Amino acid sequence: MASHRRPKQPSRARVTVLTATAAAAVALSAQAAHADPKPTKAEVKEKVDKLYAEAEAATEKYNGAKEQQEKLEKEVDALQDKVAREQADLNSLRGELGSIATAQYRSGGIDPSVQLFLASDPDTFLDQASALDQLTAKQTESLEKIQAKQRSLAQERKEAEAKLSELSEVRDALGANKKKYQKKLADARALLNTLTAAERQKMADDDARASRSAGTRVDLGNEVPASALGAAALANAATQIGKPYVSGGTGPSSFDCSGLTQWAYAQAGVAITRTTYTQINQGTQIGRSSLKPGDLVFFNNTEHVALYAGDNTVLHAPHPGAYVRYESMDTIGSFQVGVRI
């Protein structure tokens, strides 16, 4: 005879586990459905180029802070030396005043009329009295010198303290900008690591080809440098083709963008400042159509500087991982302004 017993119901615990498992499966499938697709090589390159540009902007601020720090350190050293000399002069004046006081004491602190009464030789007394008057006048002069020196010393110390405070702020800015560009470079490396090994190799090969082709002298055609100085600066920079880009590099083994332009002009006998933000104000600003070989060319809101080489081409230190090379202006970014030194 068939059994009429009711089937066994699943336990509460089993229902809970099944429900949770199902919910997790739904959540995972939903998450997979809404997950962002892996960026393409072109998208990664675009983001990496943007990070490199941001890193270069931070590098230029770092360079500016470093230059300011070096200047302030020299000023602080000079002020501290001056304070030390002022203190030595003050100590000398105080010693001189002490000698005068000793001479007065030895001449006797007796009332002059009593000294005259006791003196066996009035002429001798009068000579001593005259010497005492001279000592008193010299003491007054020394006191005035001491007071002036104390005021001067206090001012020098105040100025030195202000410079030290400014130096501390600059050092903080230096550290902050260094961390910023290091973070941007780390982000760029992380992005590149999302690509396959083959994709990364393709990007490296493309960049290497750009560097190799940059080794060939650019045909300037009929574009003549605006001056012998510009021609010399461009020729100097051309001797550095193939040198690596390094943040903070000023040559001769490596360069960043403004380090290369500064070095190139220095070899031509002209000192220009260290950063893009100051180099842009060093000469006459000109438009793109007026560029001549050797002119400075600024891009991307003063984040990057290069040397114009002719035929819509610049010679520059591009970005981390690249080398000093010629490159079309159309591939670098937005043209800002040219500057003729």
Tell me which residues are annotated as active site.
257, 304, 316
Of the candidates 314, 320, 307, the residue with the CA atom closest to the CA atom of residue 332: 314
Q: How far is CA 250 from CA 67, 179, 236, 243, 317, in A?
A: 12, 20, 13, 11, 11
Cβ atoms within 10 Å, residue 244? 15
User: What is the DSSP secondary structure assignment for residue 314, as one 8-state letter?
Assistant: E
Concatenating the DSSP letter of every residue in 187-238 gives HHHHHHTTS-HHHHHHHHHHHHHHHHHHTSPP--TT---SSHHHHHHHHHHH
Cβ atoms of 54 and 184 closer than 8 Å:
yes
Round to whole Å and give the CA distance between 150 and 135.
Answer: 22
Of the candidates 87, 67, 80, the residue with the CA atom closest to the CA atom of residue 158: 80
Q: How far is CA 171 from CA 54, 60, 99, 130, 185, in A?
A: 21, 15, 47, 61, 21
State which amino acid sits at residue 85.
Answer: R
